Structure 1
Amino acid sequence: MSRRSFFSRLLAPRRQAHGDTNTKTLANPPSWLCRIVRFFIVVALMLSALWLLLALWYQFGTFSPITWLASVFIVGLLASITMLEYAPTLANKIINKTLRTKKLSKFLTMLYSGLWLVGVGWYFSIEAKSDRDWQPEVSEVLSYTRGANNPNLITFYKVRNFDWYLAEKETDGAAEILANERWETRTVDMSKLSGIDVTNSYWMGPLIAHTLVSFRFEDDRPLAFSFEIRKEDDESFSAFAGFFRRFELSLIASEERDIIYTRSNARGEQVYLFPISHLQKHEVKALFESYLKAADELVAKPSWYNTFTTNCTNIIFYMARIVSGERLPWDYRIWVSGWLPNYLFDIGMLDANPKEQGQPWSMDTWYERTHINPKVQGFDNNADIELNEQQLIENSREFSKQIRQGLPMPPLADSQMEAESRAKSAARVSS
């Protein structure tokens, strides 16, 4: 069968001849290949329509007239195309038999294709904004300046340091999470960077976690960074809505007593902190610079959060891979954020044999030792009193110290050869 005759047979409705009393099908039944191709065409049409409808629902709301009118029109259009192409006998019973169903089918297919392309154009024209009514914890935009005489001195503006606490609602007595809002200015010295810690916070099972990165300094408390959705006042998180340009992206720089405490103590999420091993100083500094670049980009132009391509975990991976290259191989666990620690363990970025422990740590041991919640269960962040600047610093320092209890703080490697050889050795031990 030629390619032309194959597609003619695939796309054309079955022709029928009318006899005296019976109607016979003149065309042969489609081959198995025709049936498979037709099946995938139907699936593609349905998925394209579903994507467009979901985009409309998440942009305009479920009960919007635009959403319902578009839904009825698109579903009706697809139902008509399907009937004309794959059930011509039924179509001839419903519509005038003298109407040429083939031409009508082509017209409706072209109409749907044009409508879908218009929908795609509309969707990608939706721009992220920075002037919405944001929730307090994401209301500010991180910015920074470099020291005029020392470019290693970075002064951050709008560093978050909220005091989170639980309170009873006046209406029903149920507990709610509240915060004393505080945005600070903080200066750090990049020449004093001494390491990186990755924190995973679990709230909906073992597969999904929120990922944060903390930078340690030789003579200062750590500074944590987190890519988060920028929720409006009336919004709540939805992983599914995150596929459809529903949330803007936000970069938060924060004290750990804020951004980790709110997860481990206020929300009751299960939080784990993993010190990353076998890094060089220039790698840590380059990753820090990547966060500065990300802050610049978000100041210049707001961006969309995407659950799959631009989330709290894979953005970090993209930046780290630019820094470390092939030392961070692609892996499905980059998108299954709850398994990120296992990925780091397997590639040797978690020290499988801490010197002071005497025997290798398994992944189970790492999860046991890095569990933050038991370490800070009774931590007092003094949310009920007004602390001065020095007291806040000491409170932050104490919280950061407690969440690292019992963990090795790996030193930075002196050379690339040393870093890579130790990582390979750790990977062999872990496997």
Structure 2
Amino acid sequence: MKLFIIVVSLVVVIYILHGVFSVAKLDRDWVADQKVLAEITVDGDLVTVKNIRNIVYRSTEDFDLSFYDKTFKLEDLQAAWYIVEPFGQIGAAHTFVSFEFKDGSFIAISAEIRREQGEKFSVLKGLFRQYELVYIIADEADVIKLRTHHRQHEVRLLPIKADKEIVRQVFMDMLQRAEKLATEPEFYNTVANNCTTNIMKHVRRFSGKAIPWWDIRYLLPEFSDKIAYDAGMLKSDLSLDEARHYFSITERSQQCLSRESFSSCIRR
């Protein structure tokens, strides 16, 4: 038994030391859907995003990969939506943000691990500098259809109550973070640098709301919507439980799959 404990302890120490001395990189053998990163150009009120991901999925592993470029006017940015995708055990979830523009387009920004070929996510590995962090900028239909239809996960599409100027500031801050990560890589961290902690940093910087620096719900992001609810940032008079049910779009998404106006359809 003593020998077993010693061996396990050595393995853990070696694993931790490997992580401590690891260096985040840009040039690994990335999976196809995370290989190409968005590029951002700002010219006054005009923001051009190149390589907006727009995948058509047949399954999670079988898809047609495409991208498009689009120029947005910041004054046309109308609203933001906080999206929660619960999965696995209680509390586990992915969170991201979608931005609505005047022309009816919706662009999602999602902080994720940047996976290498054959790599799977592990909460434990995420503590030890094993994954780079990436901001995926995608057409909203791409990231929502993937989750509701192909992963068959619940998705909650929660409208955010905030002044348009704050929404624009958060949007630009997320784009700038995406751009920085594309040249200065960082490691994802399950506790301190995950999908939810990054969103909350952006929101805290501009909202003027009491968004905590850290909260156990950042580790259990299925419940992170309560942070927005407590801060008065959910655009709804419903209770939180009622809002979670009302804004769950899983069934609606299935019905809207073939609609050209997918994003409008799931919001009806």
Q: 2:246 matched to 1:363?
A: no
Q: Deviations over 1:49-81 (max 9, x none)?
A: 95x7336348xxxxxxxxxxxxxxxxxxxxxxx
State which of 37, 50, 66 in structure 2 corresponds to 1:141.
37
Q: 2:92 matched to 1:208?
A: yes
Q: 2:14 matched to 1:56?
A: yes
Question: Residue type matched to 2:146 in 1?
Answer: T
TM superposition shift of 1:234: 1.4
Inter-CA distance 352–234: structure 2 relative to 1 (3 Å threshold): closer
Q: Aligned equivalents of 1:161 and 1:248: distance in 2?
A: 22
Q: Aligned equivalents of 1:233 and 1:56: distance in 2?
A: 24
**5+ residue gaps in structure 1?**
1-45, 59-118, 167-175, 354-360, 382-393, 406-431
Q: 2:168 matched to 1:285?
A: yes
TM superposition shift of 1:124: 3.5
Quote the residue 1:180 is aligned against: 64
Inter-CA distance 380–321: structure 2 relative to 1 (3 Å threshold): closer
Q: 2:257 matched to 1:373?
A: no
- Please say if residues 213 and 224 of structure 1, whose CA atoms lie closer than 8 Å, have aligned partners that are also in contact: yes
- Please say if residues 345 and 352 of structure 1, whose CA atoms lie closer than 8 Å, have aligned partners that are also in contact: no
Larger Rg: 1
Quote the residue 2:266 is aligned against: 403
Q: Aligned equivalents of 1:144 and 1:284: distance in 2?
A: 18
Inter-CA distance 208–54: structure 2 relative to 1 (3 Å threshold): same
Q: Aligned equivalents of 1:219 and 1:380: distance in 2?
A: 20
- Indicate the structure with greater strand content: 2
Q: How does 1:202-241 map to 2 (within 5 A)?
A: 202-241=86-125
Inter-CA distance 164–145: structure 2 relative to 1 (3 Å threshold): same
Q: When the two structures are superposed, what TM-score results if normalisation uses the length of structure 2?
A: 0.90
Q: Aligned equivalents of 1:54 and 1:261: distance in 2?
A: 39
Q: Aligned equivalents of 1:143 and 1:57: distance in 2?
A: 35
Question: Residue type matched to 1:256 in 2?
Answer: E
TM superposition shift of 1:326: 4.2
Quote the residue 2:186 is aligned against: 303
Asked which structure has the greater RCO (Cα within 8 Å, sep 6+), the reply is 2
Q: Aligned equivalents of 1:298 and 1:189: distance in 2?
A: 24
Secondary structure of 1:313 counterpart: helix
- Please say if residues 209 and 231 of structure 2, whose CA atoms lie closer than 8 Å, have aligned partners that are also in contact: no
Quote the residue 1:124 is aligned against: 20
State which of 207, 214, 222 in structure 2 corresponds to 1:324.
207
Q: Aligned equivalents of 1:380 and 1:336: distance in 2?
A: 29
Q: 2:40 matched to 1:157?
A: no
Secondary structure of 2:105 counterpart: strand
- Please say if residues 211 and 227 of structure 2, whose CA atoms lie closer than 8 Å, have aligned partners that are also in contact: no
Inter-CA distance 54–138: structure 2 relative to 1 (3 Å threshold): farther
Inter-CA distance 233–352: structure 2 relative to 1 (3 Å threshold): same
TM superposition shift of 1:237: 1.1
Secondary structure of 1:252 counterpart: strand
Q: Deviations over 1:116-165 (max 9, x none)?
A: xxx4xx64332111111111111112211123xxx121111121000012
Secondary structure of 2:246 counterpart: helix
Question: Residue type matched to 1:185 in 2?
Answer: D
Q: Aligned equivalents of 1:123 and 1:372: distance in 2?
A: 39
Q: When the two structures are superposed, what TM-score results if normalisation uses the length of structure 1?
A: 0.57
Q: Aligned equivalents of 2:61 and 2:176: distance in 1?
A: 32
Question: Residue type matched to 2:170 in 1?
Answer: L
Q: Deviations over 1:240-276 (max 9, x none)?
A: 1111111111111111110111001111011110001
Question: Residue type matched to 1:188 in 2?
Answer: F
- Please say if residues 45 and 73 of structure 2, whose CA atoms lie closer than 8 Å, have aligned partners that are also in contact: yes
Quote the residue 2:131 is aligned against: 247
Inter-CA distance 275–140: structure 2 relative to 1 (3 Å threshold): same
Question: Residue type matched to 2:148 in 1?
Answer: S
Question: Residue type matched to 1:402 in 2?
Answer: C
CA RMSD of aligned residues (A): 2.1
Question: Residue type matched to 1:131 in 2?
Answer: D
Q: Aligned equivalents of 2:94 and 2:32: distance in 1?
A: 19
**5+ residue gaps in structure 2?**
none
Q: Deviations over 1:77-97 (max 9, x none)?
A: xxxxxxxxxxxxxxxxxxxxx
